[in-house]
């Protein structure tokens, strides 16, 4: 697991209605200028989230809004249930 642990629920501003939210490892988040960005895999999302996979060069970077971050077991259990 990476040095940053836990999950963040983020809203992907460019998806669908702009209100799509996902739980992602906080290690996938970064700030570019004043924007919060999230690395996101094109395939294998469930496994990548569960194992806190380190973002790779083929992952896309998306604008997001941070909804909340958690280290609590309930969110982790929900992610692991995927």
- Residue 1 makes CB contacts below 8 A (sequence gap 6+) with 52
**Is the pLDDT assigned to residue 61 strictly greater than 70?**
yes
pLDDT of residue 57: 92
Q: What are phi and psi of 46, to 5 degrees?
A: -60, -50
**Is the pLDDT assigned to residue 79 strictly greater than 70?**
no
User: What percentage of the chain carries pLDDT values higher than 90?
Assistant: 30
- What is the average pLDDT across 36-63? 92
**Is the pLDDT assigned to residue 70 strictly greater than 70?**
no
Number of C-beta neighbours around residue 10 at 10 A = 26
Residues 35, 65: Cα–Cα separation, whole Å: 9
Mean pLDDT of the residues in the chain: 78
Q: Is 42 exposed, middle or buried (CB count within 10 Å of its CB: 0-12, 13-18, 19+)?
A: exposed
């Amino acid at each position: 697991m990476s040095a940053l642990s836990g999950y963040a629920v983020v809203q992907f501003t460019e998806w669908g209605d702009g209100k799509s939210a996902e739980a992602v490892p906080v290690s996938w988040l970064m700030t570019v200028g004043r924007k919060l960005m999230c690395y996101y895999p094109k395939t294998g999302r469930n496994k990548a989230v569960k194992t806190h996979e380190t973002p790779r060069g083929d992952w896309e970077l998306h604008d997001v809004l941070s909804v909340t971050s958690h280290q609590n077991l309930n969110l982790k259990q929900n992610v692991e249930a995927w």
